[in-house]
Amino acid sequence: MEYLLVKFQESRGVIIDGASEGMTNQVLELETGFHSVTLEAPPDFTPELHEFILRKTSVISPKVISFEKA
Amino acid sequence: MLGDADETFVILTFSGGGTRAAAFSYGVLEEMKNTRLPGLNKTILDEADIISTVSGGSFTGAYYALFGPRIFTDFREKFLYRNIQKELALALLNPANWLRLSSPYFSRIDLAAELYDSTIFEAGTFKSLADRKKRPFLIINATSLYQGSRFEFTGGQFNYIGSDILSYPIARAVAASSAFPFLLSPISLVNYPYPDGYKMTDADKMALKDYWNNKSSYYNALNNTMYADKKRHPYLHLMDGGLADNIGLRAVNALYLRGGIRKKINSGEIKRLLVIVVNAKNEPQETLDKNESPPGLSTVALKMSTVSMDNYSFETVESIKKMFADRIEAQMNLDGCQQKLDEHCKDGYKLPPLAGGKMKLYVVDISFDNLSDEAEKTFLKHLPTTFHLEKNEVERLISAGRLLFKDHPEFKAFMDEFK
């Protein structure tokens, strides 16, 4: 498995590959490969979407992506 | 004591193996019904969330999902004690069926499905299952002949073929799951046009980019999305689920890697995950190696078509054990790092938590090999794959299922959690 940390200034639901899955600011365990990530409503964040490859991560060194308040 | 059993997620997988598998898995269900969770007014069977079944195991799993605890009052008479093979043979010999069987659109498997529908599943459909509004969620597994890959009877899989599973008879799904090569013909499905507005899921779009990163994910998406080409694949033909996975565990692997279980873990909804694999693998007495002359064409053909059924079962169980071990290792690594930080760094920095927290994960793999009684082990392993066993054979299988579940060390460790 791979590890992803979605940073946002507040706790917010995360949408991974089109489905709700986990919260921001927690390390999420996911399958290796391409993923798309956005946040749940309200749409007050930027960018709208991150798309990336998740590989070669560990629980103490997850891939980190960030959303900012728009 | 652990107070909330809802945080416990229990998955059962029932293997193929005809009546042998159906009776063995029934024994496990019976023991689960009789096992109370300490301190809670529930049995471990009340906690069953998913049953994934193949072939003979599909009869037990589907019956329990459809009728619940009624299975413990009538399933022996309705299926386990019956000579289904003889009944099928009689139906084939009945002149009333000859005209129908002469049609290219009606075959032996359709007769079998009719028999199961009228005498076992009482015309139950997937809507009947949905209307119960009760766990467990049922996954009946068959094999797509075109790809040689697993095909599951779920709403998600039916979406790919433009179809609604709710009206589909449970008996036909079980018939497809247990359509043993040569003895029964495949079950065929129509690949319907998609409704207006149908779109490929984001998960499939992403997975189809994964050829070089994750071939399991890539081929899973490829096998599912190929049905979008309605001209090239207007029909699907399904056979025994054992050809792709004879223990029903690959469906669970997929749910753990990328499906509903993964989403529940990342959403912190599962604290304890228990997977019970009931594998009725046998070791039929064969004389192939005793003859100098090679076996005949029919023996070779039968071997070729069935040898794959058990080849990868062991590896599939080991694969899920490895995934669970990796999760526990990740939890321990995070804990260990935080402890070192707490010891050596004075700024109180906290590592981001792992979603799902400190889960407990258990795999209870039940097979005849676990038996300590060598004579009983040999007896059960020599039982053939057939839809007719003697009553005493059925009862010995049920007893073995109960005993092996109750005595499994991983299950004992799971139960200790509740004390």
The yes-or-no verdict on residue B1 having pLDDT over 60 is no
Task: For chain B, list residues whose CB is within 8 angstroms of any CB belonging to chain A.
Answer: 201-203, 205-207, 209-210, 213-214, 217-218, 257-258, 262-263, 265-268, 323, 326-327, 330-331, 333-334, 337, 351-356
Two tokens at A29?
Answer: 């365990």
Under 8 Å between Cβ of A21 and A15 = yes
Task: Read off the pLDDT of residues B155-181 as tens digits, 9 standing for 90 and up.
Answer: 999 999 999 999 999 999 999 999 987
**To the nearest whole percent, how much of chain B has pLDDT over 90?**
78
Residues 6+ apart with CB under 8 A from B388: B19, B82, B83, B84, B85, B86
pLDDT band at B213 (very low <50, low <70, confident <90, very high): very high
The pairing of beta strand A27-30 with beta strand A33-39: unpaired
Q: What is the structure's pLDDT at B299? A: 75
pLDDT band at B124 (very low <50, low <70, confident <90, very high): very high
Q: What is the structure's pLDDT at B288? A: 74
Task: Read off the pLDDT of residues B311-350 as tens digits, 9 standing for 90 and up.
Answer: 678 889 999 999 999 999 999 999 999 999 999 988 899 9
A16 min Cα distance to partner chain B (Å): 8
Q: What is the structure's pLDDT at B2? A: 38
Average pLDDT over residues B259-278: 96
The yes-or-no verdict on residue B236 having pLDDT over 70 is yes
- Give A 15-54 residues with CB within 8 A of chain B: 17-23, 25-36, 51, 53
- When mean pLDDT is compared across B61-65, B139-143, B249-253, B302-306, the lowest value belongs to B302-306
Task: Read off the pLDDT of residues A38-64 as tens digits, 9 standing for 90 and up.
Answer: 999 999 999 999 999 999 999 999 999
Continuous segment of H or E residues that includes residue A69: strand A68-69
Task: Read off the pLDDT of residues B7-53 as tens digits, 9 standing for 90 and up.
Answer: 899 999 999 999 999 999 999 999 999 999 988 889 999 999 999 99
pTM (2 d.p.): 0.94
Rounded to whole angstroms, the Cα distance separating B274 from B32 reads: 13
Query: Measured between beta carbons, which residues in chain A are less than 8 angstroms from residue B210?
Result: 32-34
Two tokens at B257?
Answer: 């890697």
Q: What is the structure's pLDDT at B386? A: 92
B6 or B22, which is more confident: B22
What backbone torsions phi and psi does residue B190 show, to the nearest 5 degrees?
-90, 135
| CATH number of A24's domain | 2.60.40
Distances from the Cα of B255 to the Cα of B11, B191, B340, angstroms: 11, 24, 34
The yes-or-no verdict on residue B188 having pLDDT over 60 is yes
The yes-or-no verdict on residue B3 having pLDDT over 50 is no
Q: Which of B168, B172, B65, B157 is nearest to B126 (CA)?
A: B168
Query: Measured between beta carbons, which residues in chain A are less than 8 angstroms from residue B201?
Result: 17-18
Two tokens at B159?
Answer: 């979406």
The yes-or-no verdict on residue B309 having pLDDT over 70 is no
Structural domain of residue A34, as residue ranges? 2-69
Under 8 Å between Cβ of A58 and A33 = no
Under 8 Å between Cβ of B54 and B279 = no
Residue B64 burial (10 A CB sphere; 0-12, 13-18, 19+): buried
Into how many domains does chain A fold? 1
pLDDT band at B308 (very low <50, low <70, confident <90, very high): low
Average pLDDT over residues B344-369: 95
Rounded to whole angstroms, the Cα distance separating B260 from A19 reads: 10
What backbone torsions phi and psi does residue A48 show, to the nearest 5 degrees?
-70, -35
Rounded to whole angstroms, the Cα distance separating B182 from B240 reads: 11
Average pLDDT over residues A7-23: 97
Rounded to 5°, angle at Cα B315 from B282 and B308: 55
Average pLDDT over residues B298-317: 73
Q: Which of B415, B329, B328 is nearest to B364 (CA)?
A: B415
Rounded to whole angstroms, the Cα distance separating B272 from B10 reads: 8
Interface probe with A: pick from B202, B204, B258, most Cβ of A within 10 Å: B202
The pairing of beta strand B137-144 with beta strand B48-54: parallel
Q: What is the structure's pLDDT at B311? A: 65
Give the number of other Cβ atoms within 10 Å of residue B228's Cβ: 16
Two tokens at B139?
Answer: 């996954």
Question: B238 forms bridges with which residues in the sheet?
Answer: B144, B187
Q: In chain A, what's the furthest Cα-to-Cα distance?
A: 32
The yes-or-no verdict on residue B4 having pLDDT over 60 is no
Q: What is the structure's pLDDT at B5? A: 53
Average pLDDT over residues B111-135: 96
B182 or B78, which is more confident: B78
- When mean pLDDT is compared across B258-272, B287-301, B333-347, the lowest value belongs to B287-301
Asked if A66 reaches chain B (Cβ–Cβ under 8 Å), the answer is no
Two tokens at B394?
Answer: 């059925």
Residue-averaged pLDDT of chain B:
92
Q: What is the structure's pLDDT at B39? A: 83
Average pLDDT over residues B256-274: 96
Average pLDDT over residues B89-116: 88
